[in-house]
C-alpha cells in the first residue's frame, strides 16, 4: 500500500509498542513526532529512527496536561499533524478491594483523559487542512476483561465509546477515528504484567505466559509491533476514508470463541 507520507504524532514512544510503531512507520517514510512523559525515552526512539535513516523529533509531554499539549502545538506553528496515535498507557494489577484509588485515577487520566485532551487539541488543525487520522491503541481488554485489571479494562473499553462519538462529530470532513485492539505484545509493559500476575496469582511466570496470556489465543502467539503498524498504515490510507468509529482486533482468534 503506497500511502502518502504523513506527519505522525505518537504518544508514549519511550518504550514498548510506542517505540515499535515509531520505528516501523518511520521505515515507511513517515515523519514521526515522538512524545513521552520521559524525554530521554523519546530521544532514544528518535536516535534509533535517525540511525536507520528516518525522520523524527522528540518532545517531552504529559498527555494529562492541557497546558503542555497547548504549548507543544503552539511551538509547532503551522506544521501540520496528519495522524495522531494515542498510545500512552500503563498498567496496574491488583484486586478491586486492594486497588489504590490514586493508581485508578492515574490509569484513567493517562489512557482516557489523555486521549480526549490530545484528540481535542489536534482536531481544529485537522479540520482546517481537511484531513486527519486519529488512531487509538486499545487492547483486547477493550473487548473482554481479565481479573485484577479493573482500571485498565475500564479505560480501554471507554475508548471505543469515545471513538464512536468523535466519528459522528467528524463525519463531515475527511477525518476518521478508530481503535486498534491487539492482544498481548511482548513489550516492557507486558513483561511487568507477567511478573505482577505471577505474584498476584502465586504461580510461575512461565505459567502466566502459557496459561493466562497465550491460552485464550487459538494461534498461541504474541502480536508484533509490525502487525499493529500494518493496521495503522491501512487506517491512514485514502482507502480507509469510510472506516471510522470502528475497532480493528488483532487477537489470534481470542474473540472468535
Q: How far apart are CA 156 and CA 248, in angstroms?
A: 13
| Block residue for cell numbers 494489577 | 93
All three cell numbers of 226: 509490525
| Cβ atoms of residues 151 and 99 within 8 Å | yes
Q: How far apart are CA 89 and CA 136, in angstroms?
A: 11
All three cell numbers of 101: 484509588
Which three-class secondary structure state does DSSP give residue 220?
coil
Contacts with 174 (C-beta within 8 Å, 6 or more apart), sequence order: 130, 131, 132, 241
Residues present in the chain in total? 257
CA angle 250, 144, 197 (to 5 degrees): 95
| Block residue for cell numbers 493517562 | 110
Instruction: Point out the catalytic residue in the list 148, 152, 184, 234.
Output: 152
| Cβ atoms of residues 136 and 180 within 8 Å | yes
SS3 content of the chain, % helix, strand, coil (to 5): 50, 15, 35
Is 148 an annotated catalytic residue?
Answer: no
For 228, 231, 237, 239, 249, the CA distances from 179, given in Å and listed in that order, are 11, 10, 15, 17, 8
If residue 69 lies in a helix (H) or strand (E), which one and from where to where? Answer: helix 66-76
Active centre residues (catalytic): 152
Amino acid at each position: 500500500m503506497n500511502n502518502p507520507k504523513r506527519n505522525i504524532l505518537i504518544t508514549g514512544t519511550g518504550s514498548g509498542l510506542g517505540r515499535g510503531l515509531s520505528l516501523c512507520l518511520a521505515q515507511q517514510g513517515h515523519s514521526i513526532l515522538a512524545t513521552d512523559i520521559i524525554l530521554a525515552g523519546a530521544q532514544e526512539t528518535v536516535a534509533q529512527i535517525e540511525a536507520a535513516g528516518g525522520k523524527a523529533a522528540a518532545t517531552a509531554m504529559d498527555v494529562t496536561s492541557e497546558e503542555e499539549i497547548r504549548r507543544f502545538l503552539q511551538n509547532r506553528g503551522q506544521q501540520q499533524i496528519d495522524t495522531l496515535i494515542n498510545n500512552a498507557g500503563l498498567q496496574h494489577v491488583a484486586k478491586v478491594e486492594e486497588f489504590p484509588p490514586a493508581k485508578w485515577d492515574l490509569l484513567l487520566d493517562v489512557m482516557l483523559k489523555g486521549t480526549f485532551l490530545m484528540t481535542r487539541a489536534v482536531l481544529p488543525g485537522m479540520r482546517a487542512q481537511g484531513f486527519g487520522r486519529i488512531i487509538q491503541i486499545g487492547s483486547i481488554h477493550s473487548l473482554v476483561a481479565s481479573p485484577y485489571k479493573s482500571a485498565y479494562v475500564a479505560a480501554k473499553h471507554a475508548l471505543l465509546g469515545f471513538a464512536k462519538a468523535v466519528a459522528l462529530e467528524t463525519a463531515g470532513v475527511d477525518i476518521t477515528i478508530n481503535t486498534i485492539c491487539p492482544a498481548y505484545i511482548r513489550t516492557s509493559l507486558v513483561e511487568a504484567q507477567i511478573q505482577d500476575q505471577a505474584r498476584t496469582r502465586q504461580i510461575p511466570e512461565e505459567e502466566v505466559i502459557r496459561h493466562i496470556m497465550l491460552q485464550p489465543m487459538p494461534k498461541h502467539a504474541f502480536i508484533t509491533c509490525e502487525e499493529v503498524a500494518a493496521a495503522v498504515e491501512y487506517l491512514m490510507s485514502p482507502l480507509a476514508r469510510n472506516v471510522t468509529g470502528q475497532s480493528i482486533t488483532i487477537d489470534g482468534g481470542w474473540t472468535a470463541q
